[in-house]
Amino acid sequence: MKTFDPFLQSVEDPSHRERLTMILQDIKDTFPELEPVIKWNQPMFVIHGTYIIGFSIAKAHLALAPEEACLEKFESEINQAGYQTTKQLVKIKWADSIDLDLIQDMVRFNIEDKQGMTRFWR
């Protein structure tokens, strides 16, 4: 998690920092093959130089950016979890519960779907 420490320290609200840390640690523990990186001042995970998932924070929510193909694949599950979406993001309000299984499923999908890909983005 050392890669993410400077970013996490910049998160002013301790409860927001704790929630994001928990998600990042869960992904790192579940998918040790992923490389943690900071790009565009955002924590993200890549594999073989290919983007898998990224995160950003806003005043009202935490945002996951799993790419549009993943959002389409998990649209129903995302809606069932009560999360809002945009074309590229899943927005989880700070007071919402975190569905780690759903996040893991999205990461797993991207790892499998992007296997052998040589570009950063789809």
Architecture of domain 5-113: Alpha-Beta Complex (3.90)
Predicted confidence at residue 33, as pLDDT, reads 97
Predicted confidence at residue 21, as pLDDT, reads 96
- The residue ranges of every structural domain in the chain are 5-113
The string of DSSP codes covering 26-86 is HHHHH-TTSEEEEETTEEEEEETTEEEEEEEE-SSEEEEE--HHHHHHTHHHHHHTT-EE-
Low-confidence ranges of the chain (pLDDT < 70): none
Predicted confidence at residue 87, as pLDDT, reads 87
